[in-house]
């Protein structure tokens, strides 16, 4: 069953109020909710969130959206940076009524989503990273936050996701995510969803990584077995 048939946010023009103990920001971390056979993964770092939806059996990517947010009383409001379904729904702004009960984060949407936070798993690469350039670093032009064409890597508590998009046009180019580990300069991705090819789910990719200042140097072979050298800059 497709996402658009089973789940909808409240758009920004609506206002709702709930009595709950929501703080000025959602506690950073990774949260999961399950509904109608779909897994909802919510990743939060400071004032930025990414919400992705996918099916595990059979593997199927459904939707992802994210951006900077603020809490207005008990409503999460955001101007989205990306929305993989924008071509179909034209949604660029959200207002999500939320509450917190017994340590669980609740989106009071249709259907209601009850998110449980996973245990913290801090690693050296946790954070938001923007693709800057192909390596090695030889003073070439870099793509920065001012460029509307972005590729974001979002890593938190053992979960990773990359998203390619354009903030001016809301064009969506692709995403993938799953589990990750970063230890002894080896970065490993285990793919749980991939918008371009569901058959890639279950694949494991190993890379070398090195932190140089605010840059992450990412080297190894891509999914096609070709050599790659990427430089990502801390957002």
Q: Express each pLDDT in 102-140 by its tens digit.
A: 989 999 999 999 999 999 999 999 999 999 999 998 989
CA distance 70 to 98: 12
Q: Which CATH code is given to the segment(s) 127-234?
A: 2.40.128.490
CA distance 2 to 53: 10
Are 3-117 and 127-234 the same fold in CATH?
yes
Task: Please state the φ and ψ torsions of residue 188, each to the nearest 5 degrees.
Answer: -125, 130
pLDDT at site 7: 57
The predicted structure's pLDDT at residue 197: 94
Both structure tokens of 156? 């938190």
- Neighbouring-strand partners of residue 155: 127, 160
Which helix (H) or strand (E) segment is 146 a member of? none
Question: Which residues, given as ranges, of the chain have pLDDT below 50?
Answer: 1-6, 10-22
Cβ neighbours around 212 below 10 Å, total: 9
Kindly report the pTM of this predicted structure: 0.89
Please name the residue that has the structure tokens 């949260």. 31
CA distance 70 to 61: 27
Question: 3-117, what's its fold?
Answer: Lipocalin (2.40.128)
Exposure letters 93-114 (e unless 16+ CB within 10 A, then b): ebbbbbbbeeeebbbbbeeebb
Domain ranges across the chain: 3-117, 127-234
């Amino acid at each position: 069953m497709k996402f658009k048939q089973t789940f909808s946010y409240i758009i920004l023009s609506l206002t709702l109020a709930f009595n709950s103990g929501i703080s000025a920001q959602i506690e950073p971390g990774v949260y999961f909710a399950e509904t109608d056979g779909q897994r909802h993964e919510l990743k939060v770092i400071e004032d930025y969130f990414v919400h992705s939806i996918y099916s595990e059996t059979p593997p199927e990517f459904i939707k992802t959206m994210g951006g900077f947010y603020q809490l207005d009383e008990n409503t999460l409001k955001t101007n989205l940076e990306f929305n993989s379904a924008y071509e179909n729904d034209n949604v660029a702004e959200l207002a999500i009524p939320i509450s917190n009960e017994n340590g669980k984060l609740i989106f009071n949407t249709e259907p209601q989503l009850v998110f449980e936070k996973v245990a913290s798993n801090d690693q050296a690469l946790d954070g938001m990273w923007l693709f800057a350039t192909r390596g090695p670093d030889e003073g070439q032009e870099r793509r920065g936050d001012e460029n509307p064409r972005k590729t974001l890597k979002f890593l938190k508590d053992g979960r990773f996701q990359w998203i390619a998009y354009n903030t001016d046009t809301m064009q969506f180019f692709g995403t993938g995510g799953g589990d990750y580990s970063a230890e002894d300069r080896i970065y490993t991705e285990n793919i749980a969803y991939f918008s371009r090819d569901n058959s890639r789910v279950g694949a494991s990719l190993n890379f070398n990584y090195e932190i140089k200042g605010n840059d992450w140097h990412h080297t190894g072979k891509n999914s096609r077995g070709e050599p790659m050298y990427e430089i990502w800059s801390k957002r």
